[in-house]
Amino acid sequence: MFLFDVVKKLEEFEVPYAIVGGHAVALHGAIRGTVDIDFITEWQLENLQKIELVMAELGLIPRLPITSIDLFKNRDTYILEKNLIAWNFVNHQNPTEQIDIIITSDLTNQSIKIIEIQNQKICVLSKDELIKMKRKSAREQDLIDIKALEKLDET
C-alpha cells in the first residue's frame, strides 16, 4: 500500500511527520475518500531535504520546479504571493501516487496520534489539531471534514 511505503521511507530517513488532510480524517474513523496523501513536518531545511530524497526514492517528482532550498528560503513569498499551500509530488507512471507537503503548517508543538494498521504505525495529527487546521483553511471540503470528525465524538 502506497501510504505504508511513504511512512516507512519517512521513518527510514528520520523525518518527523504527521498525516493530515483526507487520509487523516479517514484514519480517525470518518468516511472520506481522497487520492493524495497530505502531511506536515517540522519546518527545518534538513527535514525538507530529507523529504526531497524520500520522494525521489519513491519515484515521485515535484509538480513545480521548486527545491527544498528554494522552498525553505522563500516559504513566505510562495504562500503570500503565489498562494502556494503545498509542495506537491506525483508519480507520472502512476498518478494515484501523490503527496502534498503542507507548507502553511508546522508540526512543531502539534499533538499527534499513533494509529496502527496492519502492524504499521502511522503518525496522524490529533483530531483536535486537525480540526483547528481545517477551520483555519475553511475550504468547503474542510468544513465537511470538521463535521464528520466532530460527529465521531457523538458515537
Note the pLDDT of residue 60.
97
DSSP H or E segment with residue 45: helix 45-57
| Dihedral angle of Cα 72, 77, 81, 86, to the nearest 10 degrees | 20
Note the pLDDT of residue 152.
86
Phi, psi at residue 97, to the nearest 5°? -95, 95
**Would you say the pTM of this structure is higher than 0.95?**
no
Residue 129 to residue 5: CA distance in whole angstroms: 25
| Length of the chain, in residues | 155
What the block records as the C-alpha cell of 77 is 513569498
Domain boundaries, the chain: 2-150
The percent of residues in the chain predicted with pLDDT above 90, rounded, is: 83
| Fold type of domain 2-150 | Beta Polymerase; domain 2 (3.30.460)
Whether the pLDDT of residue 57 is over 90: the answer is yes
Mean pLDDT of 110-129: 95
CA 121-86-78 angle, to 5 degrees, is 145
Whether the pLDDT of residue 24 is over 60: the answer is yes
Mean pLDDT of the chain: 93
Mean pLDDT of 51-58: 97
